[in-house]
Amino acid sequence: MPVRERRGVSREELQQSALVAVAILLVLGVFAAWSVLIPGVSAWENVIVAVIGSLRLTGPVAAAFAAWVAVRRRRGTGGQSLTTWQAVRAPLAILVVVGGSFVATLLVLAIRTMLTEQAGRLLPSGLVMGMAGLALYVAIGWVTGWLLPWTITPMLAGLGCYGLFTWLVQGTTWADRLAPATREPYDPFRGLSATALTDQTLWLLGLSAALLLGWAAMVTRQALVLAAALLAVLAAGTGVARLLGEPQTISAQRVVYSCQEWPIMVCVHPGMRPGLPELGSAFVKIASRLAGTPGEFSRLEQHPRSGEVSLPAGAALIHVDDLAAGFADEAADEFVESLAQRCDGTPAGGYRDIVVAWLLGKPLPGGPLPEHQYAAAWFSGLTDAQRRDWLRLYYSDFATCRLQSSHFGGQVEQPGQTVQHGQKQPAGQNTLYPQVYPSYQAPAPAPSVTSVPPSAPGDVPAGEPGTHAQRRD
């Protein structure tokens, strides 16, 4: 009778604890998945990565819950022998509970995702891999709780799982492939490898089954269960061998760009098409100020940061990691900074900063030296057309960090001209760019970027050389 009473209380506590666990896991899952989502990327792969990424919080909680149930179960049995089904029924029930919270998290993100047009496809192998990761957490928690039936064991199981898999994911060795997580950071241009997810699922399921069946064989002392555990070990070993045999890097997948032709041609990953208008507005003035220079462009293409890129004529490269607030300004800053190499010396760096600030439409910096302040004041006295002509003449000096005070109206002695003692050269006299300021003589007008009438974004294959985007209805 005492044993039955303990079992009755334990069953009621398990039912209440299961409801609490589902609620906690759902809240933690949605929170963790939302934090993993790349802002603004409308792609199904982004959702899969986010749901799998939620395991970093929900997994340790599931392990702690499984350990708590195992401790209570161990105390309730009173040392009685168990059949195979009686042994594995409780951990399987726990897996169903935590699996339900995983599916609920996926549904929350999927409903939010289906409200907008998405790129890519939903990979079933990614969802199965997430469930396999949860199974491993439950198996570790259950076996730990049964072997160490202490009150503090659930906390130790949760913290231990969190520390172990966090260390594996952040590691740089082959061990990071064994953790129930995707390889980070997620790159929309490379996508996800279905083969890698399948191999990872085989490893996780094999290890989970080996732990539970090995524990069941120890409890029930049945040879058949032990044989099944050995088969699970073989499956886990096969998964590890396949994982380690895969290349470390995933080759980039072919992307059909989404483009917008106004105010300039901008092409991005189809999952980032909502950012096209803001990117076009951020780069139209930069394109106008670079017109006629070696940095001139009429088309922008988004590309991943890794790997070599082959661009068509007149195209420029940009990097957009996400569509968080200020993403277009960050892309513009990075693009303009890449036009000229960094200057080691303070004088040259100050002159470079003046030109960069003008290209970005920011206030001209005064600089740390008086000559920089004079150069900024001189440059601010020019019109945009004059500055564009100036940049056309001295673009190579700007790009190679060779700008000097003589480029900004500095006093430079004319060849063969002597200045008498006590006589000053007229202010603003410049041999490289004579009488630039205040009496500026502009060279021949340079072509400027023409605006294309607004049109609906089309789809353009990535890297089509020498062709503009064709709109698709």
Can you give 208-220 as a three-state secondary structure string? HHHHHHHHHHHHH
Query: With contact defined as beta carbons under 8 Å apart, do 125 and 132 qualify?
Result: no
Is pLDDT above 80 for 451? no
User: What token pair was written down for 455?
Assistant: 């049109």
Structure tokens at 215: 């524990």
pLDDT computed for residue 344 by the predictor: 79
The pLDDT value recorded for residue 285 is 94
pLDDT at 446 (0 to 100): 39
Which residues lie below 8 Å from residue 273, measured CB to CB, with a gap of 6+? 42, 258, 457
Q: Which of 5, 11, 55, 47 is nearest to 29 (CA)?
A: 55
Confidence band, pLDDT 50/70/90 cuts, at residue 176: confident
- How much of the chain exceeds pLDDT 70, in percent? 81
Q: Which residue has the higher pLDDT, 91 or 252?
A: 91
Instruction: For residue 160, give Cα distances in angstroms to 163, 165, 298, 449.
Output: 5, 9, 55, 60
Label the pairing between strands 458-461 and 315-318.
Answer: unpaired
**Do 258 and 270 meet the contact criterion of CB atoms below 8 Å apart?**
yes
Which residues, 6+ apart, have CB-to-CB distance to 319 below 8 Å? 302, 303, 304, 305, 331, 334
- pTM, full prediction: 0.79
Mean pLDDT of 455-468: 40
> Contact 122/48 with Cβ under 8 angstroms?
yes
End-to-end CA distance of the chain: 75
Gap between the Cα atoms of 117 and 392, Å rounded: 43
pLDDT value at residue 85: 92
Identify the CA nearest to 369 among candidates 357, 356, 354. 354
Least confident range of 115-124, 218-227, 273-282, 362-371: 115-124
pLDDT band, very low/low/confident/very high, at 104 (cuts 50, 70, 90): very high
> What one-character DSSP code corresponds to residue 393?
H
DSSP codes, 445-463: PPP-PPPPPP---EEEETT
Write the single-letter amino acid at 18.
A
Distance (Å, whole) CA 468 – CA 314: 10
CA 191 to chain centre: 11
Q: When comparing pLDDT for 255 and 272, which is higher?
A: 272
pLDDT of 448 higher than 50:
no
pLDDT in tens, 380-403: 999 999 999 999 999 999 999 999
Query: pLDDT digit string (tens) for 33-51?
Result: 999 888 988 888 899 999 9
Judged against a pLDDT cut of 50, whether residue 234 lies above it is answered with yes
Q: Region 325-332: what's the mean pLDDT?
A: 96
Query: Which pLDDT belongs to residue 237?
Result: 95
Share the mean pLDDT of the chain.
Answer: 82
Cα–Cα distance, 458 to 261 (Å, whole number): 9
Tokens of residue 261, six digits: 């032709």
Distance (Å, rounded) from C-alpha 429 to C-alpha 309? 44
Would you state the structure tokens that stand for residue 427, as one six-digit string?
């202010």
Q: Alpha carbon of 196 to those of 122, 132, 180, 203, 238: distances in Å?
A: 15, 14, 12, 11, 13
| CA neighbours closer than 13 Å in the CB half-sphere of residue 124 | 0
Spatial separation of the C-alpha atoms in residues 252 and 335, rounded to whole Å: 22
pLDDT above 80 for 471: no
Helices (H), 221-345: 223-245, 276-289, 327-337
CA distance linking residue 136 with residue 205, whole number of Å: 7
